[in-house]
């Protein structure tokens, strides 16, 4: 058999890995050494050389995007489609399994997925039910408690009875939360994993069937598997032991979410005879970038140790920019990207990475100012935006009246006179009668226990949902969405809102219609198109927000950048307390995890790497002086070049917006008293930029300090 097309772009170590005999194999190798590539080629090898059907292969990737890319690559190598192959994230695969076997898994057929927000809402409801005060029992800590146990595979009954009353109470909350989720057919993210695990563990027949079916299991980013994922893999691979995992201990960045680096060591114990391979050549970065990244990660103690080299060029130095504040930082970055694009490069080759999702907003603002298309992955996700969640909640409720979180979300959005008191009654009725909110509402409408006004308002809501259901049954997804948006009054509600924000919301809702139009439904997954779309929205949030075909700048958190690569990378917000993150400064192991995150960030860069920080930063509503991240000091100084400030964003020559004035402050001066239509009176703190890009920082009496684009702010001098 001619395998040259598989082998031609692999080095020797990679070839050995791709063509290794079946059996347990662990590749432990640094960033950019071709781990993901080897995994992809391995699937092609299995299909072509060992003649294994792609249906017998399961490949676990880190993101849905990675799965898509891998599928594309495999099809390219093989020359035929591999549609039926199980390829995706742990969550995605677990979900698919549960949909196929909902009954065996003890779920209702139409079970819905709770994202993190929905889960918090359910937790609040649980607290209510138990008559516990949120002040004493912060929902976020409870979420952490519940998910932590689930990640370790522990149900409430597995938690040892504690002496401590607080611990006992937590277990009780967990238990009640589970009962509620079960009753209403709701499954949170971690539950997907745990259920899928239990499904195989407790059901011998199914287990045998899937052990048989998946003759080969491949896992990317193995260092970030948690206990339950690992156990699940072990169950599946136990018989044939054909399990091929790749990872890098230096890139383990999810310990805070239960990932266990120890799984790498455990693997060799659980699968005796494991072949361990190393890949040492980095194909991604210039030698300068690689040397800088290696120097940083070298400061970590608990490492398995490996070497990584490249025969790439030295390339350019790592560039450091000390911004005076976060706006200056964002402008610097955007200006550099603009120069990059003007030099004929693509926008999508540039990535802005940050430690905390909240940082994206300023970048987004500046990018919007200069009309440069961008895309945010993760974090401020499209599907997590309030208006989109409202719309999805309507769709979910129409699809399943059991869906309590959705009921809660939209019963009074847009406002229809259903007050808190009425809702309390509905909740109380539901609690006492163990009913869904929907059924409780129906019962109360008929019971005459509510005031006439409340009864009327509630009936209108019930009628509305039923009507939308009747009108949309059998229609295409895009028509269903369109009708729902109009009938529910959502779009009008947001349209009536004031200002730019309302406009964006309406645009987002319109974009949702686009998203449903472009949604590709795989009829094999056993779901109707609406459920498939809702699942997609819950699982793949963010992946479909921007138009795929548009060339745009990439914005994402360091966590979601894992596995990706970009010619031009900006590592921003490198300040003590932000990166490394505040929390990590208090807990010992956490600082090393932050450093690994830094290593992940730096090794995303192929040709140019910028590292930036702001001397003053406003974050979470407070402005503070910062000190530069310790990670700077860990990069050898000969590899770094500081880019000096004193530079300003030039207005784009191509901009077609008329410049307002050539005077930078448009006549405005520091210390001027001004009035804003919405924010009231304030004092000008700083002025930046020129012409149409002039921005002013105003400290408003009522709302604190804000940055405004002068051309749009309509400030009145006092």
Query: What's the distance, CA 534 to chain centroid?
Result: 16
Q: At closest approach, how far in Å is the CB of 69 from ligand ATP?
A: 10
35, 101, 389, 536: which one binds ligand ATP (CB under 6 A)? 35
Q: Does 195 bind ligand ATP (CB under 6 A)?
A: no
Is-contact 593 600, C-beta < 8 A? no
Q: At closest approach, how far in Å is the CB of 64 from Mg ion?
A: 15
Q: At closest approach, how far in Å is the CB of 289 from ligand ATP?
A: 12
The nearer residue to Mg ion, 70 or 114, going by C-beta atoms, is: 70
Q: CB atoms < 10 A from the CB of 541, how many?
A: 21
Q: How many amino acids of this chain bind ligand ATP (CB under 6 A)?
A: 19
Of the candidates 642, 644, 556, 545, which has an alpha carbon nearest to the alpha carbon of residue 600? 556
6, 14, 556, 573: which one binds ligand ATP (CB under 6 A)? 14
Question: Residue 587 has what DSSP assignment?
Answer: S
Q: Does 287 bind ligand ATP (CB under 6 A)?
A: no
| One-character DSSP codes across 93-105 | HHHHHHHHTTTTT
Q: Which does 181 bind (CB under 5 to 8 A by kind): Mg ion, ligand ATP, none?
A: none
Q: Which does 28 bind (CB under 5 to 8 A by kind): Mg ion, ligand ATP, none?
A: none
Beta carbons within 8 Å of 452's beta carbon, 6+ residues apart:
none
Q: Does 10 bind ligand ATP (CB under 6 A)?
A: yes
Is-contact 406 397, C-beta < 8 A? yes
Q: Which does 34 bind (CB under 5 to 8 A by kind): Mg ion, ligand ATP, none?
A: ligand ATP
Q: Does 248 bind ligand ATP (CB under 6 A)?
A: yes
Q: At closest approach, how far in Å is the CB of 2 from Mg ion?
A: 27
CA distances from 473 to 19, 113, 494 (A): 51, 22, 26
Q: Which stretch binds ligand ATP (CB under 6 A): 4-12, 311-319, 377-385, 627-635?
A: 4-12
Q: At closest approach, how far in Å is the CB of 220 from Mg ion?
A: 6
The nearer residue to ligand ATP, 210 or 570, going by C-beta atoms, is: 570
Task: Classify 696 as helix, strand or coil.
Answer: strand
Q: What region, left, alpha or beta, does residue 161 occupy, with left being phi > 0 and alpha being psi -120 to 50 degrees?
A: beta
Q: At closest approach, how far in Å is the CB of 416 from Mg ion?
A: 50
Q: Which stretch binds ligand ATP (CB under 6 A): 25-33, 127-135, 333-341, 501-509?
A: 25-33
Q: How many CA atoms lie within 13 A of 705 on its CB side?
A: 16
The nearer residue to ligand ATP, 65 or 416, going by C-beta atoms, is: 65
Residue 667, φ and ψ in degrees, nearest 5: 85, -5
The nearer residue to ligand ATP, 24 or 563, going by C-beta atoms, is: 563
Q: Which does 481 bind (CB under 5 to 8 A by kind): Mg ion, ligand ATP, none?
A: none
Q: Which does 33 bind (CB under 5 to 8 A by kind): ligand ATP, Mg ion, none?
A: ligand ATP
What Rg, from alpha-carbon coordinates, does the chain have?
A: 27
Residue 517, φ and ψ in degrees, nearest 5: -65, -40
Q: Does 312 bind ligand ATP (CB under 6 A)?
A: no
Q: At closest approach, how far in Å is the CB of 601 from ligand ATP?
A: 11
Query: What's the distance, CA 46 to chain centroid?
Result: 32
Using CA atoms, how far apart are residues 54 and 131, in angstroms rounded to an integer? 52
149, 154, 284, 409: which one binds ligand ATP (CB under 6 A)? 284
Q: At what angle do helices 452-472 and 420-433 cross, to 10 degrees?
A: 70
The per-type count for the chain, helices as H runs and strands as E runs, is: 28, 21
Q: Does 283 bind ligand ATP (CB under 6 A)?
A: yes
Q: Which stretch binds ligand ATP (CB under 6 A): 9-17, 204-212, 531-539, 631-639?
A: 9-17
Is-contact 355 558, C-beta < 8 A? yes
Q: At closest approach, how far in Å is the CB of 14 from Mg ion?
A: 13
Q: Which does 32 bind (CB under 5 to 8 A by kind): ligand ATP, Mg ion, none?
A: ligand ATP
Interface positions, 565-594, toward ligand ATP (CB under 6 A) = 565
Provide the mask over 544-563, with x wherever binding to ligand ATP is found by CB under 6 A and - wherever it is not: -------------------x
The nearer residue to ligand ATP, 10 or 105, going by C-beta atoms, is: 10
17, 28, 34, 494: which one binds ligand ATP (CB under 6 A)? 34
Q: At closest approach, how far in Å is the CB of 283 from ligand ATP?
A: 3
Pairing of the two strands 704-709 and 695-700: antiparallel
Q: At closest approach, how far in Å is the CB of 259 from ligand ATP?
A: 15
Using CA atoms, how far apart are residues 64 and 66, in angstroms rounded to an integer? 5
Is-contact 389 409, C-beta < 8 A? yes
| One-character DSSP codes across 19-54 | TPPSS-EEEE--TTSSHHHHHHHHHHHHHHTS---G
Q: Which stretch binds ligand ATP (CB under 6 A): 3-11, 17-25, 98-106, 347-355?
A: 3-11
Using CA atoms, how far apart are residues 648 and 690, in angstroms rounded to an integer? 8
Q: Does 11 bind ligand ATP (CB under 6 A)?
A: yes
37, 96, 559, 695: which one binds ligand ATP (CB under 6 A)? 37
Q: CB atoms < 10 A from the CB of 202, how many?
A: 12
Q: At closest approach, how far in Å is the CB of 105 from ligand ATP?
A: 32
Q: Which stretch binds ligand ATP (CB under 6 A): 31-39, 318-326, 364-372, 618-626?
A: 31-39
580: cis peptide before it, omega within 30°? yes
Using CA atoms, how far apart are residues 319 and 339, in angstroms rounded to an integer? 15
24, 26, 36, 360: which one binds ligand ATP (CB under 6 A)? 36
Q: Does 601 bind ligand ATP (CB under 6 A)?
A: no
The nearer residue to Mg ion, 35 or 559, going by C-beta atoms, is: 35
Question: Residue 597 has what DSSP assignment?
Answer: H
Beta carbons within 8 Å of 583's beta carbon, 6+ residues apart:
590
Using CA atoms, how far apart are residues 355 and 549, in angstroms rounded to an integer? 27
The nearer residue to ligand ATP, 32 or 691, going by C-beta atoms, is: 32
The nearer residue to ligand ATP, 405 or 563, going by C-beta atoms, is: 563
Q: What region, left, alpha or beta, does residue 436 occupy, with left being phi > 0 and alpha being psi -120 to 50 degrees?
A: beta
The nearer residue to ligand ATP, 561 or 668, going by C-beta atoms, is: 561
Q: At closest approach, how far in Å is the CB of 257 from ligand ATP?
A: 18
Active site amino acids: 35-36, 220-221, 251, 604
Q: CB atoms < 10 A from the CB of 446, how many?
A: 9
What is the contact surface with Mg ion in residues (CB under 5 A)?
Answer: 35-36, 563
Using CA atoms, how far apart are residues 246 and 267, in angstroms rounded to an integer? 11
**Tokens (6 digits) for 362:** 């300023």
Q: Does 5 bind ligand ATP (CB under 6 A)?
A: no
Burial of 2 (0-12, 13-18, 19+ CB in 10 A): exposed
Using CA atoms, how far apart are residues 50 and 44, in angstroms rounded to an integer? 9
What is the contact surface with ligand ATP in residues (CB under 6 A)? 9-11, 14, 29, 31-37, 248, 251, 283-284, 563, 565, 603
């Amino acid at each position: 058999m001619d395998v040259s097309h598989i082998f031609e772009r692999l080095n020797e170590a990679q070839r050995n890995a791709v063509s290794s005999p079946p059996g347990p194999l662990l590749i432990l190798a640094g960033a950019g050494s071709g781990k993901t590539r080897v995994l992809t080629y391995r699937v092609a090898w299995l299909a072509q050389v060992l003649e294994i059907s792609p249906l017998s292969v399961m490949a676990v990737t880190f993101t849905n995007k990675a799965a898509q890319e891998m599928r594309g690559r495999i099809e390219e190598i093989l020359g035929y489609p591999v549609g039926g192959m199980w390829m995706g994230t742990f969550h995605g695969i677990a979900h698919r399994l549960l949909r196929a076997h909902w009954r065996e898994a003890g779920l209702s057929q139409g079970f819905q997925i709770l994202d993190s927000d929905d889960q918090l809402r359910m937790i609040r409801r649980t607290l209510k039910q138990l008559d516990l005060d949120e002040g004493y029992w912060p929902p976020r800590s409870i979420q952490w408690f519940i998910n932590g146990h689930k990640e370790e595979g522990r149900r409430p009954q597995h938690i040892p009875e504690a002496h401590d009353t607080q611990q006992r109470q937590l277990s009780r909350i967990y238990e009640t939360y589970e009962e509620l989720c079960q009753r209403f057919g709701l499954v949170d993210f971690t539950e997907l994993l745990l259920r899928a695990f239990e499904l195989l563990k407790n059901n011998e027949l199914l287990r045998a069937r899937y052990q048989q079916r998946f003759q080969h299991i491949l896992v990317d980013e193995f260092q970030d598997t948690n206990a339950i994922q690992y156990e699940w893999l072990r169950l599946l691979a136990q018989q044939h032991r054909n399990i091929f995992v790749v990872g890098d201990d230096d890139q383990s960045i999810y310990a805070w979410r239960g990932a266990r680096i120890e799984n790498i060591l455990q693997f060799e114990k659980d699968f005796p005879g494991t072949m361990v391979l190393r890949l040492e050549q980095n194909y991604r970065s210039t030698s300068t970038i690689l040397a800088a990244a290696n120097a940083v990660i070298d400061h970590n103690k608990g490492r398995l140790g490996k070497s990584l080299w490249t025969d790439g060029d030295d390339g350019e130095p790592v560039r450091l920019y000390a911004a005076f504040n976060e706006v200056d930082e964002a402008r610097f970055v955007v200006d550099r990207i603009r120069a990059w694009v003007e030099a004929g490069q693509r926008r999508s080759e540039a990535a802005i990475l940050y430690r905390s999702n909240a940082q994206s907003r300023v970048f987004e603002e500046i990018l919007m100012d200069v009309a440069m298309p961008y895309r945010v992955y993760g974090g401020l996700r499209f599907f997590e935006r309030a208006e989109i969640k409202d719309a999805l909640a309507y769709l979910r409720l129409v699809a399943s009246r059991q869906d309590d979180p959705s009921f809660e979300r939209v019963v009074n959005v847009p406002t229809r006179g259903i007050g808190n008191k009425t809702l309390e009654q509905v909740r109380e009725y539901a609690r006492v009668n163990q009913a869904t909110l929907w059924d409780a509402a129906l019962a109360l409408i008929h019971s005459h226990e509510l005031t006439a006004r409340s009864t009327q308002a509630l009936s209108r809501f019930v009628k509305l949902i039923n009507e939308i259901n009747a009108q949309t049954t059998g229609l295409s997804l895009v028509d269903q969405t369109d009708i729902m948006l109009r009938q529910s009054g959502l779009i009008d509600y947001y349209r009536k809102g004031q200002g730019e924000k309302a406009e964006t919301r309406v645009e987002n809702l319109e974009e949702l219609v686009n998203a449903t139009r472009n949604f590709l439904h795989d009829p094999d997954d056993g779901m109707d198109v609406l459920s498939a779309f809702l699942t997609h929205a819950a699982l793949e949030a963010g992946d479909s927000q921007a138009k795929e075909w548009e060339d745009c700048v990439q914005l994402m958190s360091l966590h979601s950048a894992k596995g990706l690569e970009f010619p031009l990378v900006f590592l921003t917000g490198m300040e003590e307390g932000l990166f490394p993150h505040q929390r990590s400064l208090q807990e010992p192991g956490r600082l090393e995890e932050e450093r690994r995150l830094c290593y992940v960030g730096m090794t995303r860069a192929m040709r140019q790497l910028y590292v930036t920080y702001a001397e003053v930063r406003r974050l979470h509503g407070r402005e503070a002086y910062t000190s530069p991240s310790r990670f700077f000091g860990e990069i050898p100084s000969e590899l770094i070049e500081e880019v000096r400030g004193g530079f300003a964003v030039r207005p784009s020559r191509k901009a077609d917006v008329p410049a307002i004035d050539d005077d930078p402050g448009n006549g405005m001066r520091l210390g001027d008293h001004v009035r804003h239509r919405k924010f009231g009176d304030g004092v000008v703190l700083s002025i930046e930029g020129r012409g149409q890009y002039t921005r002013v920082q105003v400290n408003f009496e009522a709302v604190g300090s804000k940055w405004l684009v002068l051309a749009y702010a309509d400030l009145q001098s006092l």
